[in-house]
Amino acid sequence: MKKQLIILVITALHIMLLGCSEAKKDPQNEFNHLSQAPIDLGVISSDAATVAFLNGGLVTVSDVRTTEVKHQFKLHNHTKVSGISLSQDNKLLLVSFDTQLSVWDLNKNSLVGQFTVAGHSEFAKISQVAIYANPMCVLVGMTDGTLNLIDFENNLTKQAKLHEARISHLEMGEHRQLVMTAGHDGQVKLSYIDSLSPKYSYSLSKRVTSAATGLRNEILFVSDALNEQVLLRPFSNMSEPIKLVYRERFRWFRAAALSPNGEYLATGSSKYWWTLWDANNGREIDAFAIESATSTAMILDMHFSKDNILTTLSSDGIVEFWDINTLASTQH
């Protein structure tokens, strides 16, 4: 009887860990070490050519292919860094703290300025940031659900209370017409950039742990902290969300990216692996183990190029390049 019980327990554990144990490692996959020490935060540029990351009190901007360090800035602010962002032309770097923003001009290798932002609540702090150039503007999500837009060209600021809790994700579409926000209130929204009024919203029962949007906001991915992960097409006739299909009871999604053509979704877990999905039906294509230097390695950011090359950045300071067309064609 005891032997049978042990077998049942082992079988149950195997089923629970199935997704992790099935992650494949491609020995031919290209990767680069950008840092010899673990990194706290990191972002991949929109062209996937540059990475900015935080290690201790130092922010480093490196070339992902050559690993050359382009810029390094020592942070003198003693409060915790809450976010890092690179503009789409790789000319501006933004670092946020509790309520303060610091912006560097990477061409001039100099600090442009520092700014203070606030939410509706006097206790609100910065939770998410994004910076854009040509013209320059900054999006700032707050822990009380407030979104701030700073338009430097027109010397204008806008503010709206879009969420009832911390904004955990934000991103502006390719044509700067809509901004996607998601928060700990379980809401994901697309809002007009000129008025910050919502155009589309969808609710999950738990806080949002990962979210991504297509270049033109034609597709959204959002997942909560339990077992609801859906693909949404806000402006199509497909009113029903597409749920991700997997065998485990639940999965934790920490990072996400959608391919430019909307065909594929990549999600990062809280462990050392990521998953490729068919965005048309929510079915899993395969899972892949990342290159790691520590047992706690996980993906901090991931980005698709227009050629369907996925770039991933891990907490070990390792950047990897994945040919999605090849991986999808060899699906099992």
Amino acid 27: pLDDT = 52
List helix spans (H) across 90-192: none
CA-to-CA dists, residue 299 to 45, 56, 107, 316, 317, angstroms: 15, 18, 29, 9, 10
Contact predicate 261/216, CB 8 Å:
no
Give pLDDT, residue 285.
95
Per the listing, tokens 């369907």 go with 308
The H-or-E segment that residue 18 falls in is helix 18-21
Superfamily grouping for domain 210-331: YVTN repeat-like/Quinoprotein amine dehydrogenase (2.130.10.10)
The 10 Å Cβ neighbour count of residue 69 is 12
User: In sequence order, what are the residues at sequence separation of 6 or more whose Cβ sits closer than 8 angstroms to the Cβ of residue 233?
Assistant: 218, 219, 220
| Stronger pLDDT, 20 or 178, i.e. the higher one | 178
What is the reported pTM?
0.88
CB 132 within 8 A of CB 172: yes
Q: What does the alpha-carbon distance between residue 176 and residue 216 come to, in Å, rounded to a whole number?
A: 9
3-state class (DSSP) for residue 217? coil
pLDDT-based confidence at 227, cuts 50/70/90?
confident
For 88-99, the pLDDT digits (tens) are 999 999 999 999
**What does the pLDDT read at residue 77?**
76
DSSP state of 209: E
Helix residue ranges per DSSP H, 266-329 = 324-329
Residue 19 pLDDT exceeds 60: no
Euclidean distance between CA atoms 31 and 318, whole angstroms: 7
User: What gap in Å lies between CA 311 and CA 305, rounded to an integer?
Assistant: 8
Question: Rounded to an integer, what distance in angstroms lies between the CA atom of residue 324 and that of residue 278?
Answer: 11
pLDDT at 226: 82
Q: How confident is the model at residue 119 (pLDDT cuts 50, 70, 90)?
A: very high
Name, in order, each residue with C-beta under 8 angstroms of 163's C-beta and a sequence gap of 6 or more. 145, 147, 181, 183, 184, 185, 187, 189
Sorted by sequence, the CB contacts under 8 Å of residue 234 that are 6+ apart come out as: 190, 200, 202, 217, 218, 220
- How would you classify the pairing of strands 220-224 and 187-192? unpaired
pLDDT tens digits for 39-53? 999 999 999 999 999
Instruction: Specify the pLDDT at position 302.
Output: 96
Whose tokens are 């990897």? That residue is 320
Q: Tokens 């892949």 map to which residue?
A: 288
pLDDT tens digits along 164-189: 999 999 999 888 899 999 999 999 99
Euclidean distance between CA atoms 186 and 165, whole angstroms: 9
pLDDT bracket for residue 331 (50, 70, 90): low
